[in-house]
Amino acid sequence: MIKGIFFKFVVGKESVVFEFLQLSERFFNCVRYFFTLLLICLLVGCSTYDSAVSSHPPSPKTPYPIKMSDACGLEINLAKKPDRIVIQSQWEKEFIEEIGGTGEYILFEGKGIGGADHETERRIAAELKPDLVIIMSQGYLLEGDCKNARYLLSLGIHTYVSDQSTLKKITDEMITIGNIMNHQSEASRISEQLRSTVELVEKAVAPLQRKTVYWEHNISIEFGEIKQYYALGPITLEDEMLKLAGGNNITRNDSRLNPYNIPIKPDDIIMANPSHILISGHLEKQSAGLYKKIQERPEWNNLNAVKQKQVLELPILFGSVSSLRNDLIMLVEFFHPELRGNVSLYSKQEG
């Protein structure tokens, strides 16, 4: 448009027209080149910014000092990230590593916390001088663990007791301990994966008929014969997983015995006639050739679980922190084979 206007103004003066057109052409080339470079810079700049934001979001940091209460109702105050965290069990080690705290703990492998003389607590305080002791407790041990925590507090040691009795409580504890250790991002991711799996399982099994389950956890053998059966019972994390997966445990624990070794009579098992049987804890007896498989026990031939071949021997690492989601799915598929491979159970498994 500009070149047209000036061309009309200078008609008849060819030399002027020519020079102006030459100048005008160079001018417009420069302008076009300038705006092209500007557009490229803007596009590259925006692309780099968006890419950086989406690929590397800033990890949230714990705003120390923090104050919180544990499963015992005991309050702890942490002025900064605890550098010397003492734990005692393999479960606690796996838990901390699962939420991103690999190597950020001291595993005390001596005598367990507790006992009348509190020897271990005094050793931990004197030898390790921890910033924090973490005790992860199941429901049936909580009362004793709270007593031990109070003793550690009397020695001036920050102590946090974590309730690990159900999967939903574990998801909450992942968030809390992740906050304590300044691993909020990884802890939130792992917690959400487990929480999503639990919710999907609950929804999937809700309309289905529940199964009756005998969970054999140990046996005592004398002269090649089984003298006592021991079942896994209520108030355990595994029993809670069994219920979530759609099963009802035939074993009761009226005497408040160790819920992992509840004596049960063969007649009681036969009378309950479970539809499904789970086996765990027989590894040493199996390797020694002492264990007689359930299918080979003549008196159990008429059990529904045996007749329908609904007997499952669980993996050695069943119930470890890193496998909780897959283990829950394993139980669901065993109790309800119609859900095997159901995409709704796996849609949120990976994060």
Residue 170: which of 75, 255, 237 has the closest Cα? 237
Provide the pLDDT for residue 25. Answer: 57
Provide the pLDDT for residue 34. Answer: 58
pLDDT per position as a tens digit, 298-351? 889 999 999 999 999 999 899 999 999 999 999 999 999 999 987 677 655 554
**Separation CA 26–CA 20 (nearest Å):** 10
Provide the pLDDT for residue 281. Answer: 80
Q: Which domains does the chain show, CATH number per domain? A: 66-202 (3.40.50.1980), 208-314 (3.40.50.1980)
pLDDT per position as a tens digit, 145-176? 999 999 999 999 999 999 999 999 999 999 99
Could you write out the three-class secondary structure of the chain? CHHHHHHHHCCCCHHHHHHHHHHHHHHHHHHHHHHHHHHHHHHHHHHHHHHHHHHCCCCCCCCCCEEEECCCCCEEEECCCCCCEEECCHHHHHHHHHCCCCCCCEECCCCCCCCCCCHHHHHHHHHHCCCEEEEEECHHHHHHHHHHHHHHHHCCCCEEEEECCCHHHHHHHHHHHHHHCCCHHHHHHHHHHHHHHHHHHHHHHCCCCCEEEEEEEEEEEECCEEEEEEECCCCCHHHHHHHHCCEEECCCCCCCCCCCCEEECHHHHHHHCCCEEEECCCHHHHHCCCCCCHHHCHHHCCCHHHHCCCEEECCCCCCCHHHHHHHHHHHHHHHCHHHCCCHHHHCCCCC
Provide the pLDDT for residue 104. Answer: 96
Provide the pLDDT for residue 49. Answer: 37
Provide the pLDDT for residue 345. Answer: 74
Provide the pLDDT for residue 288. Answer: 61
Mean pLDDT for all residues in the chain: 85
- Its pTM stands at 0.81
Q: Which residues of the chain have pLDDT under 50?
A: 1-21, 23, 44, 46-56, 351
